[in-house]
């Protein structure tokens, strides 16, 4: 595949084009071609990453060798483009850092060295190089302890690295200092994900509900709270949360799938079937949707459709 000028913008244009083609139910041959195109894109992006790391290392060496500081500013809107939202998951130690609230900033870095470390931290984070990202974020907050967003990124990186105590402590600090309701929703949701990963489901649920209180439009909080209730077999409560998540994202197949299962297990299989059929229309190749539909059709005595689902499921694995 040809990428005009091999620039980042054209790569993402091509990625969008591939996504559109995948949504148009391509033939097996067309799908294989699209997958190969994605592999080519990934290989190209890997080269960009290697060049970026080499560039940053060379710039740092030049500054030390020739005793100068290269002006380093973040492009306008750079921080606002960062995706704060952690991935969904289906399944308080007193703050030891006390600084005046009025001195804290959310999206402001003062020093060039702090900007440089923050940029590196984000780059390592995108590459899932969590140890390196943590070291850079730690440098940032050591240089600029008033930078709230740096504390937040460090807390998330700690959590992804499995350093739960450090993550919770850092996220509590951010919550204590932040007056931004959307950031607070992300903070509570991140705490909930950490507790859920430790199977502390009651603590997780309390954090997800706090996220919703901070930002009633935070659909991930509804989904995660629903997932916790579902895992605890509190299906009617799960339905309430999943319904609110679906109000925000009616075309999300996973929300419809979880909602359909909740209705079924709550004793309303016909309603469950209706919603699972919607999930199937949104993602007709997902095996777990097809399996659940087969089980429901079987339960409701519709053997023909049940057989169709099971046959399709077998074909998916062949």
pLDDT tens for each residue of 182-225: 899 999 999 999 999 999 999 999 999 999 999 999 999 999 99
Domain borders along the chain are: 252-318
pLDDT tens per residue, range 89-145? 444 322 333 333 334 445 567 788 888 888 889 888 888 899 999 999 999 999 988
The Cα 311–Cα 297 span in angstroms is 13
Separation CA 296–CA 303 (nearest Å): 10
Quick: pLDDT tens for 259-291.
999 999 999 999 999 999 999 999 998 999 999
Q: What is the domain class of 252-318 according to CATH? A: mainly alpha
| Closest of 248, 252, 246, 262 to residue 286, by C-alpha | 252
**In sequence order, which residues have a C-beta less than 8 Å from that of residue 243 and are 6 or more positions away?**
259
Higher pLDDT, 309 or 61: 309
Please give the pLDDT value at position 260: 96
Taking Cα atoms as reference points, which of 229, 231, 258, 234 lies closest to residue 246? 258
pLDDT(21) > 90: no
CB 187 within 8 A of CB 171: yes
Q: Which residues touch 110 (CB under 8 Å, ≥6 apart)?
A: 144
Pairwise CA distance, residues 125 & 127, whole Å = 5
Confirm if 257 and 280 have CB atoms less than 8 A apart: no
Query: How far apart (Å, rounded) are the C-alpha atoms in residues 156 and 170?
Result: 9
């Amino acid at each position: 595949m040809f990428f005009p000028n091999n620039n980042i913008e054209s790569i993402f244009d091509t990625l969008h084009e591939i996504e559109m083609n995948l949504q148009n139910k391509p033939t097996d041959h067309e799908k294989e071609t699209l997958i190969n195109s994605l592999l080519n894109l990934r290989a190209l992006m890997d080269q960009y990453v290697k060049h970026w790391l080499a560039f940053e290392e060379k710039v740092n060496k030049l500054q030390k060798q020739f005793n100068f500081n290269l002006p380093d500013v973040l492009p306008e809107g750079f921080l606002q483009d960062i995706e704060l939202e952690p991935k969904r998951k289906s399944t308080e130690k007193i703050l030891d850092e006390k600084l005046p609230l009025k001195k804290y900033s959310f999206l402001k870095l003062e020093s060039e060295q702090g900007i440089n470390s923050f940029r590196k931290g984000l780059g390592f984070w995108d590459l899932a190089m969590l140890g390196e990202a943590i070291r850079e974020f730690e440098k940032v907050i050591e240089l600029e302890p008033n930078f709230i967003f740096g504390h937040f990124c460090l807390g998330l990186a700690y959590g992804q690295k499995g350093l739960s105590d450090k993550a919770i402590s850092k996220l509590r600090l951010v919550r204590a200092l932040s007056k931004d309701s959307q950031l607070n929703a992300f903070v509570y949701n991140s705490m909930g994900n950490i507790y859920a990963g430790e199977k502390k489901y009651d603590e997780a649920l309390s954090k997800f509900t706090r996220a919703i209180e901070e930002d009633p439009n935070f659909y991930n909080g509804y989904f995660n709270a629903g997932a916790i209730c579902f895992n605890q077999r509190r299906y009617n409560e799960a339905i309430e949360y999943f319904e609110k998540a679906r109000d925000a994202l009616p075309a999300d197949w996973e929300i419809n799938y979880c909602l359909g299962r909740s209705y079924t297990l709550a004793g309303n299989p016909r309603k469950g079937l209706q919603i699972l059929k919607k999930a199937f229309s949104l993602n007709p190749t997902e095996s777990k949707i097809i399996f659940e539909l087969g089980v429901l059709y079987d339960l409701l005595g519709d053997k023909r459709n049940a057989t169709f689902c099971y046959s399709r499921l077998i074909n998916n694995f062949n």
